[in-house]
Amino acid sequence: MSLFGSIIDFLKETAPFYIAINIILASFLLILGLVLMSKKNREQKAKKIAGMVCLSFSMLAFLGAMSNAFFSSFIF
């Protein structure tokens, strides 16, 4: 049981760091995706697809930050 407790303590200590990293990554990807999806770049199909991919990964990073915050505050 002490190994499980030490793993939980480690996750409690590192959760704020990973929440901040996920939010910074999501913000960067959101800005990059919006720039690639802008009206000027919309004519090129490759930039439009790259913008959609960046926006999708941005949503996943925000979801990761929210789930990490939820589990670190309510479950642990």
- Is the per-residue pLDDT at 18 higher than 80? yes
Question: What would the two tokens of residue 37 be?
Answer: 């999806």
CA distances (Å), 70 to each of 11, 16, 73, in order? 13, 11, 5
Query: If you average pLDDT over residues 14-37, what whole number do you get?
Result: 91
pTM of the model: 0.79
Per residue in 35-61, pLDDT (tens digit) is: 988 877 667 888 888 889 999 999 999
pLDDT reported for residue 1 = 60
What ranges do the domains of the chain cover?
A: 2-75
**Helix/strand/coil percent split, the chain, to 5:** 85, 0, 15
Question: What would the two tokens of residue 69 be?
Answer: 């915050």
